[in-house]
């Protein structure tokens, strides 16, 4: 178990107040990490931090902020470092989707998605870098998507941001390898969360179409991300950097 033990570690999870982010935060907390949960909604964020400390007996902090704003990013990282004195693990998970074909998408919508899903990961990684360097190492995990691999005519900004996440992951991994900071990505398949509930309302046949396409035969729940999250946050992955791991029930393995 010591390979996966995070009890001396401090982790930040953006978008950790629900969906996949809360699944990640629960996994890290169950391995013993102190967790800072970042989100825009104060009630949801406070409730998630309370839940983590009650359920897993770890120190948990709610940090309210918008990761798409550069000024908020610096404040968020400042709050976490003041509370815990260190930041060992960063999950860039916060994300949104705007489902519009390219010819109907406005510049503002494009920028909103790119800034939330991609630019925030760059800014947050840059902001935590001094703490990881000072500590002699760290772990950054970026959340991509199946659209890191496939295109999406119905969501061009989203797919572009998620493709960019993989290249950002590789670039940070190379830049910071000498600092013993491992940077990897997880590419989730179809998870049942608020994000996809919205898609399922817009496309009623989506649920069954996806089940038919997944070799493991079911949608994922947020708990399905926890094992891979703990692996990539722990000493168990110390020789792994610059990769993108699908957690998709076999979706990308199938034709």
Instruction: Give the whole-angstrom CA distance, residue 31 versus residue 56.
Output: 9
The nearest distance, CB 91 to ligand NDP, in angstroms, is 9
Instruction: Please report whether residue 182 would count as binding ligand NDP according to CB under 6 A.
Output: no
Q: What is the largest CA-CA distance in the chain?
A: 52
Q: What is the DSSP string of the chain?
A: -GGG--TT-EEEEETTTSHHHHHHHHHHHHTT-EEEEEES-HHHHHHHHHHHHHHH---EEEEE--TTSHHHHHHHHHHHHHHHS---EEEE---------GGG--HHHHHHHHIIIIIHHHHHHHHHHHHHHHHT-EEEEEE--GGGTS--TT-HHHHHHHHHHHHHHHHHHHHTGGGTEEEEEEEE--B-SHHHHHHHHHSTTHHHHHHHH-TT-S-B-GGGGHHHHHHHHSGGGTT--S-EEEESTTGGG--
Instruction: Please report whether residue 193 would count as binding ligand NDP according to CB under 6 A.
Output: yes
- 251 part of the active site: no
Q: Which of residues 215-234 bind ligand NDP (CB under 6 A)?
A: none
- Of 8 and 143, the one with the shorter C-beta distance to ligand NDP is 143
Q: Which of residues 9-68 bind ligand NDP (CB under 6 A)?
A: 14-15, 17-21, 38-41, 44-45, 66-68
- Of 66 and 179, the one with the shorter C-beta distance to ligand NDP is 66
Q: Which of residues 149-178 bind ligand NDP (CB under 6 A)?
A: none
The nearest distance, CB 138 to ligand NDP, in angstroms, is 20
- Of 7 and 221, the one with the shorter C-beta distance to ligand NDP is 221
Instruction: Please report whether residue 145 would count as binding ligand NDP according to CB under 6 A.
Output: yes
Q: Please identify, among the stretches 1-9, 176-184, 194-202, 237-245, the one whose residues bind ligand NDP according to the rule CB under 6 A.
A: 194-202
Instruction: Please report whether residue 116 would count as binding ligand NDP according to CB under 6 A.
Output: yes
Q: Please identify, among the stretches 55-63, 87-95, 228-236, 239-247, the one whose residues bind ligand NDP according to the rule CB under 6 A.
A: 87-95
Considering only 84, 129, 131, 190, the residue that binds ligand NDP (CB under 6 A) is 190
Q: Which residues bind ligand NDP (CB under 6 A)?
A: 14-15, 17-21, 38-41, 44-45, 66-68, 93-96, 116-117, 143, 145, 188, 190-191, 193-196
Which positions are catalytic?
158
């Amino acid at each position: 178990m010591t390979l996966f033990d995070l009890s001396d570690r401090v982790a930040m999870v953006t978008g950790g107040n629900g969906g996949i982010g809360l699944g990640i935060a629960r996994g890290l907390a169950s391995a013993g990490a102190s967790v800072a949960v970042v989100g825009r909604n104060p009630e949801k964020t406070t409730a998630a931090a309370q839940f983590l400390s009650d359920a897993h007996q770890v120190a948990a902090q709610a940090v309210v902020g918008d990761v798409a704003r550069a000024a908020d990013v610096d404040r968020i990282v400042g709050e976490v470092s003041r509370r815990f004195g260190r930041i060992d693990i960063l999950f860039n998970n916060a994300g949104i989707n705007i489902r519009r074909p390219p010819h109907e998408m406005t510049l503002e919508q494009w920028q909103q998605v790119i800034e939330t899903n991609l630019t925030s990961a760059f800014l947050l990684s840059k902001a935590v870098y001094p703490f990881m360097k000072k500590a002699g190492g760290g772990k950054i995990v970026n959340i991509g998507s199946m659209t890191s691999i496939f295109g999406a005519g119905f969501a061009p900004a989203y797919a572009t941001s998620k493709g960019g996440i993989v290249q950002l992951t590789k670039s940070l991994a190379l830049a910071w390898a000498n600092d013993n900071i491992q940077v990897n990505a997880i590419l989730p398949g179809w998870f049942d969360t608020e994000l996809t509930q919205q898609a399922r309302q817009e496309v009623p046949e989506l649920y069954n179409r996806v089940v038919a396409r997944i070799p493991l035969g079911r949608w994922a729940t947020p708990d399905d991300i926890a094992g891979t999250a703990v692996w990539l946050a722990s000493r168990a992955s110390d020789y792994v950097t610059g990769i993108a791991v699908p957690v998709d029930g076999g979706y990308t393995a199938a034709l």
